[in-house]
Amino acid sequence: MLLKRTPSWHMKESLATDEHIYHNRRQFLKAAGLSGVGLMAASTGLSSLAEAAPITGFPAMRNQAYQLDRDITPEDEATTYTNFYEFGSNKNIWRKAQKLVTDPWMVTIDGLCQNPMELDAADLIKKTGPMEERLYRHRCVEAWAMAVPWTGVPLAKLVALADPKPEARYLVMETFLDPKVAPGQSQSWFPWPYVEALRLDEATHELAFLATGLYGKEMPKQNGAPIRLVVPWKYGFKSIKSITRFSFAAEAPLSFWQESNGNEYGFFANVNPEVPHRRWSQATERLLGTNERVPTQLYNGYGDLVAGLYQNDNPKELFF
């Protein structure tokens, strides 16, 4: 059963406050030996971490377990042809996304888990690292595809850190909300903030990846800095960018695209060449860089690893 989300967002202090004032306040707190995070943790009882700093450790060692059957997409293609509706609905928003401030970047982990916490993205990665690099295929529901080296950590490490309660069945993820920075979020016909979710067995699958970087460098803003999801066996819209919240829930939420257009976008969104989108075929895909068209693969070629997740599910629900 699907539940309608209640708006649960609270804006980051750094975004609600004038940036200049905010930075001065951080300096003051530092001098006093207190971080804003520490103060908040003291007052709320949430576990806390130290000062914000950028995520470091690039390039990370490549995990050779994940090999490609095609060339790596040229970097300038993967970083200038991007979907990030918060900054507009065309592919050419990479310049606009530079306005996003990604350090500090507070992340909330909450809901049905034993260890709720609020911490900076860099601290989260320190706790879930070491980072590694993986070559993955990526397939957008719009029938374009790329193959790129992501840096990051297995999402299962975050789940283990949070320690979900037995009744938790889903991991729900949310993108930042700040229409002053992201003009697309003023488009009231979209249900902001962007929300996505995985079932917990999907979230803890070895392929589910919390990405911090691309091409051996920190994540470009337009590709979802500082942390984003990568689930390569699903259509790209599941791979939510610039995540600020991870919540453990008993019920699946309505995702951003389900709520926008539930006739065309479902919860599972696993790639399948045999199941067309309501408006176009999914039989082939266009490779960014060469524009060559190649056959689409079931589960985007990761069927050997993931098909077992879905043995008890209704096939009619799995592929849109």
Interface of this chain with ligand MTE, residues 35 to 94, rule: CB under 6 A = 82-86
Q: Measured at the alpha carbon of residue 158, what is the angle toward residues 165 and 250, in degrees to the nearest 5?
A: 35
Q: Tell me whether residue 118 or residue 285 sits nearer to ligand MTE (CB atom).
A: 285
Q: Which element (helix H / strand E) includes 73?
A: none
Q: Tell me whether residue 46 or residue 181 sits nearer to ligand MTE (CB atom).
A: 181
Q: Tell me whether residue 37 or residue 153 sits nearer to ligand MTE (CB atom).
A: 153
Does residue 103 contact residue 91 with C-beta atoms inside 8 Å? no
CB burial of residue 303 (10 Å; 0-12, 13-18, 19+): middle
Interface of this chain with ligand MTE, residues 169 to 188, rule: CB under 6 A = 175
192 binds ligand MTE (CB under 6 A): no
Q: Tell me whether residue 117 or residue 140 sits nearer to ligand MTE (CB atom).
A: 140
Q: 59 preceded by cis ω (within 30°)? A: yes
Q: How far apart are CA 55 and CA 64, in angstroms?
A: 23
CB of residue 65 to ligand MTE, shortest distance in Å:
22
289 binds ligand MTE (CB under 6 A): no
CB of residue 144 to ligand MTE, shortest distance in Å:
8
Q: Which member of 236, 253, 289, 301 binds ligand MTE (CB under 6 A)?
A: 236
The one segment of 105-113, 125-133, 159-167, 232-240 that binds ligand MTE by CB under 6 A: 232-240
Q: Which member of 102, 185, 239, 282 binds ligand MTE (CB under 6 A)?
A: 239
14 binds ligand MTE (CB under 6 A): no
Q: How far apart are CA 224 and CA 121, in angstroms?
A: 13
Interface of this chain with ligand MTE, residues 122 to 141, rule: CB under 6 A = 140
Q: How far apart are CA 153 and CA 131, in angstroms?
A: 5
Q: How far apart are CA 116 and CA 108, in angstroms?
A: 8
240 binds ligand MTE (CB under 6 A): yes
CB of residue 235 to ligand MTE, shortest distance in Å:
7
Q: How many residues does the chain have?
A: 320
282 binds ligand MTE (CB under 6 A): no
Does residue 141 contact residue 235 with C-beta atoms inside 8 Å? yes
CB of residue 43 to ligand MTE, shortest distance in Å:
30
Please name the residues in contact with 184: beta carbons below 8 A apart, sequence gap of 6 or more. 84, 85, 86, 87, 88, 89, 190
What is the contact surface with ligand MTE in residues (CB under 6 A)?
82-86, 140, 175, 194, 223-224, 236-237, 239-242
